Structure 1
Amino acid sequence: MSEDEQADFDEEIQEERFYTIPLAKKGFELTPRWKRSKKAIKVVREFLERHMKPEGEVYISQDVNERIWENGIKNPPRKVRVRVTKSIDGIVRAYLA
């Protein structure tokens, strides 16, 4: 994480975890090809809500978003590795690991 990103989020971190999120297990074969990257973002958000139990918002960083969308809307990666932090306020943020 760059110094600018660190300066933006000077909140106290309660916990930090690393996850490999399996995107392909959520029925990409059944999803139309032109909706797959959109669905992958939703899968990441649902995964983080289930595992981190946020009291506030779930934020996905620009790097994670670009990693999912780098091959276009039709071909997202089958899994993505993220570093997830949870602040004392209950806000969850996901960064590329």
Structure 2
Amino acid sequence: MADLNPIAKRIHNVSPDPIRLTLDDGTKAVFHIFGAEFFQQEFQAEGTRVDDDDAEYRFVSSDDNETILVGRKGPEDSGWSMVGSILDTAPAESE
């Protein structure tokens, strides 16, 4: 079996502690991740963003398991919208 995605592994290992994620658009934000789990190589989790309390976030691996994608659903949204992908992670306390 191929290796697990390294970003997904870091998220899984740090959760439920706060984690700072860097997205592909340059955004850096702190998230509280819960329900982080692997199904074989596929990763999924849910969470909230510290500065966006009203929205829910979902984290899933891409079809090829190379990227972790981020979706957002606000209180007024009827569905999920793609936010981007995660480039880097760090424990929130490290900055």
Higher relative contact order (CA 8 A, sep 6+): 1
TM-score normalised per structure 2: 0.29
Q: From the two aligned structures, give the one with the greater strand fraction.
A: 2
Q: From the two aligned structures, give the one with the greater helix fraction.
A: 1
Larger radius of gyration: 1
